[in-house]
Amino acid sequence: MTRYLLGVTGAPGAGKSTFADAQQHRLAQAGTAAAILPMDGFHLPQAELVQLGRRNRMGAPDTFDVDGFIATLERLRAPGTVTAPGFDREIEEPVADAIEIGADIRLVIVEGSYLLHDRDGWERVRPLLDRVIFLAPDDAVRRERLIARHVAFGKTPAEAEEWVARSDDANAALVAATAHRADDIVREGAA
């Protein structure tokens, strides 16, 4: 039996992880086991980002291992257990083989910002997903969430605001331009 891959996308701070967790819980209550595959595990390691001169833009499309992400999605289409990297927010590093998706799992919620991006290799993602939901919360709410997250993981409020303004907002604009490729758009309140 083929796995069903449900994409959940939106700008940084849109509530993708929260939405995916809620869907997984709802499905479990209905008797359906689902796994979550976050795109965050495919961030390039910090040392590589520094070497490439991209550390100050971490989260942009070219700061991820898109080929590794595609290969994992393709493996999910075949029978068997699939492992994937996770992401440790405290050290901002990917963690190899942190996620295991068992052969018995038939539904995988794939969450990440660039599921609908159409350049630089990302255009290969959408055809591998059965359905994609785009989360579109109010922009002010999204920014508040991001600043709070950055502060929770060690940035000062000023550093968090600067990061959001410089990096996350640029990525959010890029992601917003992909919303028309989604099957469904969920507005504020659902994430």
Using the Cα atoms of residue 80, residue 81, residue 87 and residue 93 in order, give the sign of their dihedral: negative
> pLDDT band at residue 188, thresholds of 50, 70 and 90?
low
Q: What percent of the chain has pLDDT over 90?
A: 77
> Taking a C-beta distance cutoff of 8 angstroms, is the pair 142, 19 a contact?
no
**Nearest partner of 75 among 100, 50, 58, judged by Cα:** 100
The pLDDT assigned to 19 comes to 96
Domain 4-187 CATH (choose: 3.30.70.360, 2.40.240.10, 1.10.238.10, 3.40.50.300): 3.40.50.300
> pLDDT band at residue 190, thresholds of 50, 70 and 90?
very low
> Taking a C-beta distance cutoff of 8 angstroms, is the pair 6, 133 a contact?
yes
**Nearest partner of 13 among 122, 143, 177, 173, judged by Cα:** 143
Give every CB contact of residue 11 below 8 A, 6+ residues apart in sequence. 113, 142, 168, 171, 172, 175, 176
The pLDDT tens digits of the residues spanning 96-125 come to 999 999 999 999 999 999 999 999 999 999
The answer to whether residue 170 scores a pLDDT higher than 60 is yes
Range among 80-94, 118-132, 164-178 rated most confident = 118-132
Partners of residue 101 on adjacent β-strands:
82
The pLDDT assigned to 1 comes to 64
Q: Give dist(CA 143, CA 149) in Å, integer.
A: 10
Average pLDDT (86-92) is 88
For the entire predicted model, the pTM comes to 0.91
